[in-house]
Amino acid sequence: MAPKRICAVKAIISIFFLAISTISYGQLGGERSYSFLEIPTSARSSAMGGSSAGIKDADINLINDNPANLDTSIDNHLSINYINFVSDVNAGTIAYARKAGKGAIGVTAQFLGYGKFEVVEANGVKTGEQFNAGDFALNIAYGLALDSLFSVGAAFKTIYTNYYYSQSVALAVDLGAAYTSKSKYFNSTFALRNLGRALTKNNDQSRNKLPTNIEIGAAVKIPKAPLRFFTQYNNIQKWDLGSNDPNYEAKERLDAKTGISSQRKLSSDNLFRHLVLGADIVASDNFLLTFAYNFRRRKELAAVSRGGLSGISFGAMIKVKKLQFNYSLSSYHTAGISHHIGITSNLNALF
């Protein structure tokens, strides 16, 4: 193994265990703030169940999920994405990548707008004043291909939230690595996302916590067939993802000696809440269909009486001349479906 690869593997292992020890308490559900960072930033990510961390591909739409996707092949690429998330809640991103030395630099601006709100006093009297609430993030990333098999990347995030009189600022980093086999039929990925700290303190001197997430993923392309299967395992830093779900029914174990019952630490329910499974139909370089199933989304957001399509997402990519169009449909709840659209272009081909 080449020295560069050995150093990269050692660095990834060190970062992994450092991250686990740093965030072993695992903030989830209501324990975290800045949750807008978990919303898919591109139509392709949305189609893949919420994150594209399981794929290594030359697509600028993937760099926000794993900075290791940044390389010189997407030099001067620009993408714009928009999602009507829920009701009047809208989100969008704009991303641009440029070659820098042996690697590439990517800049992504991300926003989530909650719409307008009326100011109402504690006694219910409307003041006539209105305000907007929103979340914003600016990400600057650098990615580098160590050789034809391994690539790494890192991103620095500045995060800002504004809710009337309440503002908050935070800083975070993303780290990523990816491996692609010589045959190009297999890839595996690692991503550490949103590891950081709030700079602004609350009135009680506490700080909001970021939605840190450690993900691994893999994808397999079937030789001589237009199929690629992918899987993602997220939130490695926290095994129990069901404790914050009011519908979660933990299986109990009865101690034969003491007669005391306790919740089982290991369960298939918790295992599957970490998983996203999906498949791409790669019809050609110009047309792609994606299907994915997010187990946790299904468990937490499906109606008890009727699950519908909760947890299922679908997407399509089509290239027309010098433009790439992406669309995704994601079902979060029986009563709510989100539509995500994106447009990408290689500016070198346009000008």
Note down pLDDT in tens along the chain; length 351 residues.
555 555 555 555 555 445 444 444 444 444 568 989 999 999 999 999 988 878 888 899 999 999 999 999 999 999 999 998 777 889 999 999 999 999 999 999 999 998 888 888 888 788 878 888 899 999 999 999 999 999 999 999 999 999 888 889 999 999 999 999 999 999 999 999 999 999 998 888 888 899 999 999 999 999 989 999 999 999 998 888 766 554 555 555 545 556 554 555 667 778 889 899 999 999 998 999 999 999 888 777 655 555 567 788 999 999 998 899 999 998 776 556 889 999 999 999 887
| pLDDT given for residue 123 in this prediction | 80
End-to-end CA distance of the chain: 41
Radius of gyration for the chain, computed over Cα atoms and rounded to the nearest angstrom: 21
Distance CA 218, CA 234 (A): 12
Distance CA 57, CA 155 (A): 17
For the chain, what's the residue count?
351
Take residue 142 and report the two structure tokens written for it.
């650098």
For 77-80, which contacts have Cβ atoms below 8 Å and span 24 or more sequence positions? 77/344, 77/345, 77/346, 77/347, 78/344, 78/345, 78/347, 79/42, 79/342, 79/343, 79/344, 79/345, 80/342, 80/343, 80/344
Distance CA 1, CA 190 (A): 19
> Is the dihedral angle over the CA atoms 27, 30, 34, 39 positive or is it negative?
positive
Q: How many CB atoms lie within 10 A of CB 267?
A: 16
Encoded amino acid at 123, one letter: N
Nearest to 45 by CA among 32, 31, 35, 59: 59
| pLDDT given for residue 17 in this prediction | 47
| pLDDT given for residue 29 in this prediction | 46
Contact present, 307 and 297 (Cβ < 8 Å): no
| pLDDT given for residue 21 in this prediction | 45
Contact present, 319 and 336 (Cβ < 8 Å): no
Q: Which residues pair with 98 in a beta bridge?
A: 105
| pLDDT given for residue 44 in this prediction | 94
Nearest to 345 by CA among 45, 20, 92, 94: 94
Distance CA 228, CA 244 (A): 33
Residue with tokens 């299967």: 229
| pLDDT given for residue 251 in this prediction | 52
Contact present, 86 and 112 (Cβ < 8 Å): no
| pLDDT given for residue 6 in this prediction | 55
Complete domains list, the chain, with CATH: 3-350 (2.40.160)
Name the 3-class secondary structure at 50: coil
| pLDDT given for residue 338 in this prediction | 84
Nearest to 188 by CA among 179, 196, 197: 179
Residue with tokens 């989530």: 112
